[in-house]
Structure 1
Amino acid sequence: MQVLASLALGSLQGKVPLLTRALTGDFNGHHAFMIASMLRAIDEADNRISRLSEEIDRQLQGRAVRCARRGRGRRR
């Protein structure tokens, strides 16, 4: 755990002893299950955000085309 804690960057470098203590302990199958579940939820959220961003871009592009056809958005 000392090796892992020593990889700390920035302001965490001064907290290596605390990190070592935090990383020391029991890690069992239940913890692995919970972490895997949380990582899957993060991946799913990332995918949803990506799809929403693509849809927003598509909608904005369509709006820009419609506005250009109507002459909106031009400075007069």
Structure 2
Amino acid sequence: MGESWHNNHHAYPSSAKLGLLPGQIDLGWWLIKTFEAAGLASNIKTPDNLAPRPGARRVDDLGTADAVAGT
């Protein structure tokens, strides 16, 4: 119900892309990519081109924590 996108926003506050995992549909991201294709958006930030966040951790479906960077 949107909580995943909210958590992703806090994990990567500068990112335009909030649907980070498979199955997380991100209509806002699709709109931004459309703007980019039309030449209306550039220099779009995503987790792939943002600086790593030391200490950021991901909790998988089994409840165990894995480091975000490198796994």
TM-score range, shorter chain: under 0.3
Task: Indicate the structure whose relative CO is greater, using CA pairs within 8 Å and at least 6 residues apart.
Answer: 2
TM normalised by structure 2 equals 0.22
Q: Which has the higher strand share?
A: 2
TM normalised by structure 1 equals 0.21
Q: Which has the higher helix share?
A: 1
